Amino acid sequence: MFRSEPTRFADRSEAGRLLAERVKALRLRDPVVYALPRGGVPVAVEVAAALGAPLDLVLVRKIGAPGQPELAIGAIVDGDTPEVVLNADIVAATGASEAFIAAARRRELAEIERRRARYLAGRVPVDPAGWTAVVVDDGLATGASARAALHALRRRGAARLVLAVPVAPPGTLEALRSDADDTVCLVEAQLFFGIGAFYRDFHQLTDEEVIAAIVGLQRPAAQHG
C-alpha cells in the first residue's frame, strides 16, 4: 500500500520520486521515459532513475486559443512529420480559424526546433518502436500536450504507452485513458485551479535547468536499443 500523497508537492523532484513508486509497481518491460519539457523534465528524471530507464524528450508545444494563450485548443509534436492534435470543441468555442492554427503551427514548430538544438545538441532520439514509452509531465490541465505526445509515440511504434503525472483533474484523465494503455496519477483533483496550486515551488524552469537535469541520463539513452 502506498502512503497518502500530499495535497501539495514541495517541488517537481519530490513529485517525481512519489510518482516513480507508483510507476515501478507496474513492473514495466523495457521502459523508456519521455519527458514533456520544460516542467516535466525534473519529474521524469526521478522516474527514469527509479526504473533504471533511458530518458528522452518528446517535444510538444501547446497551441493557445485566440486572445487566450493559456487555453489550449490543441498541441503540436515534433517528428519526421509533425503532428497537430486539436480539441474540436475548444476550436469551435473559441472561433480559431484555419489561418490562425496554421500560423500557430509555424510559430510553435520554430520553438520546437530551437529547443531540440539547445536541449539535445544533436543527440539521436531514443526510438520507441517495440518498447514501453512512459510519458511524464508535471501535471495536466486540458491534456492537449500529453495527447499529442501519446499519439506521436504510438505512431512511432511504441509497444505500450503509460501516461504518468503527479496531478490532473479527473475529467482530463478520463478523456486520455483511451490514448494510453495505463495512466498513473497521484492526485486526481476535483477542485483544480491550475497545476501550480499543487506545488510549493513551481518556478518556471530555464533552459539551463533542463539541460543540467538531463545530462546525467544521456548515456543510458544513447545505449538504448
Higher pLDDT, 140 or 78: 140
CA 213 to chain centroid, in Å, comes to 15
Structure confidence by residue, pLDDT tens digits, 7-40: 799 999 999 999 999 999 999 999 999 999 999 9
Q: Which three cell numbers stand for residue 97?
A: 480559424
Partners of 76 in beta bridges: 61, 84
Q: Indicate the SS3 state at residue 23.
A: helix
Reply yes or no on whether the pLDDT at 3 is more than 50: no
Structural domains in the chain, sorted by start? 12-59+125-223 (3.40.50.2020)
pLDDT at 217: 55
pLDDT at 144: 84
Reply yes or no on whether the pLDDT at 223 is more than 80: no
Structure confidence by residue, pLDDT tens digits, 148-200: 899 999 999 999 999 999 999 999 999 999 999 999 999 999 889 899 999 99
